[in-house]
Amino acid sequence: MSLPDFGFYVLCATAVVLLAAQAVIHPTEFVQVCIFGLTQGSIYALVALGYTMVYGIIELINFAHGDVFTLGAYVGSAILGFFAISEGEFTTVNLIALLLVFPAVMLIMGGINVAIERVAYRPLRNAPRLAPLITAIGMSFFLEGVMFLWHGPATVHFPDILPKTATTIAGVFFGFKDVFVVVVAAILVALLAIFINRTKLGKAMRATAQDRDAAQLMGIDINRTIAATFFIGALLAGAGGMIWGLYYNTVYYQLGFRSGLIAFTAAVFGGIGNIPGAALGGLIIGLIAAFSDSYIGSKWTQVVVFGILIGVLVFRPTGLLGMRVPEK
């Protein structure tokens, strides 16, 4: 075992021991924090998948992705406003509205992300590496600006339309919302896995990620495949934005920056370019953020999360699952 690996395991072991101590001393609180971490982590997982897919295929840190996620919540809130929904309770209208709006927002976000790719990234496919990175940051500012123009700097209310059913089991409180978030995220991740592994387009994506030139020689339309990757990444981000809105009922225009960075950390944590890794990384980062919020203090969460980001890259650059990503 090399020294970096050793350091990594020691750090992990220390964290696990400290958490186990907490679990034994205050089991109820611990489980409560875990539930919160898992719901939060499910959203991070959805966003992280978009980062990891785009990075895997064109090696670009798509800074605009976090803002696509936030924009999803904004658009969802706006479209829901057209329905006669009743807030604070759950009616048939709410259910119908949700069933219509959820996929609509996903598709709209997908379209927007494909447009972004077409305008800002495709013309720079053969430019120096820094060029698309800066256009990505530019697109991120642009989207934030659009949201700022739309609703101003204040937080925006998202309709509270999910049932408020909640139960308490052995002192642990959990509601329908928690279950909803985790289940929807799990379904979407499962669909993504099936898509990537079973369909022809999924296979094309994997091939393009592995070796773009060889994939092209095999007759794969590279531009179409990359556009599809952005589309699917944004579907998940849009879903993440909707879930965020439904769960927290509030969004603001700079949400995408901070939570985008955290989701990106999750993608790195799972091994960037690695799809199951991003989902797992999202859950773990969500748990870590929740633990840090309640055991260390929320003002330290950012330091903890980014400290972990640096630590992972130093000790284990291939990520948690340890899969080798081809170096280009």
Partner 1 sequence: MSQRAAGGSGSILARFRLRERIRDRDQAVYGILIIAAVLFPLVTIYATDGTALVSQATRAGYFVLLAIGLNVVVGFAGLLDLGYAAFFAIGAYTYALLASPQLASSPAHHAVHLPFWLMLFVAMFVAAAAGAILGFPTLRLRGDYLAIVTLGFGEIVPQLFYNFDQWTGGINAVGIIDQPVLPAWIQGPWSGDGPVQIVRSFNFGGDPVAFYVLICILIAAAVILVSNLYRSRLGRAWMAIREDEVAAAAMGINTVTTKLLAFGIGASFSGFAGAYYAADVSLVSPDSFLFIVSITVLVMVVLGGMGNISGVIVGALVLYYVVFYLIPGLPENVTNLANSIGLSSETTHSLADATQHLNYIIYGAILVAMMLLRPQGLLPSRIREQELKHAAVQEEEAAVEMEHAT
265 is a site residue for partner 1 (CB under 8 A) = yes
Binding mask 128-167 for partner 1 (x = CB under 8 A): xxxxxxxx-xxxxxxxxxx-xx--x---------------
Q: Could you give the CA distance from residue 22 to residue 210 in angstroms, rounded to a whole number?
A: 43
Q: Could you give the CA distance from residue 282 to residue 50 in angstroms, rounded to a whole number?
A: 12
- C-beta separation of 267 from 201 below 8 A: no
> C-alpha distances in angstroms, 144 versus 34, 60, 69, 81, 270?
31, 20, 11, 21, 27
Nearer to partner 1, 68 or 243 (CB): 68
- Biggest distance spanned by C-alpha atoms of the chain: 62
Minimum separation from the CB atom of position 293 to partner 1 (A): 14
**Interface region with partner 1, contact rule CB under 8 A, candidates 32-40, 85-93, 221-229, 295-303:** 295-303
Nearer to partner 1, 63 or 180 (CB): 63
- Binds partner 1 (CB under 8 A): choice among 61, 107, 196, 201: 61
- C-beta separation of 42 from 286 below 8 A: yes
306 is a site residue for partner 1 (CB under 8 A) = yes
296 is a site residue for partner 1 (CB under 8 A) = no
**Interface region with partner 1, contact rule CB under 8 A, candidates 54-62, 222-230, 240-248, 280-288:** 54-62
302 is a site residue for partner 1 (CB under 8 A) = yes
Tell me the H-state helices in the chain.
Answer: 3-25, 27-58, 65-80, 92-116, 130-151, 176-198, 200-210, 212-217, 222-248, 255-269, 275-291, 301-315
Task: Report the b/e string of 69-106 with b at 16+ CB within 10 A.
Answer: bbbbbbbbbebbeebebeeeebeeebeebbeebbeebb
- Within residues 196-255, the interface with partner 1 by CB under 8 A covers none
Binding mask 83-122 for partner 1 (x = CB under 8 A): ------------------------------------xx--
58 is a site residue for partner 1 (CB under 8 A) = no
Phi, psi angle pair for 242, to nearest 5°: -60, -45
Nearer to partner 1, 173 or 306 (CB): 306
319 is a site residue for partner 1 (CB under 8 A) = no
Q: Could you give the CA distance from residue 167 to residue 308 in angstroms, rounded to a whole number?
A: 34
Binding interface with partner 1 (CB under 8 A) = 55, 59, 61, 119-120, 123-124, 127-135, 137-146, 148-149, 152, 257, 261, 264-265, 268, 299-300, 302-303, 306-307, 309-310, 313-314, 317, 327
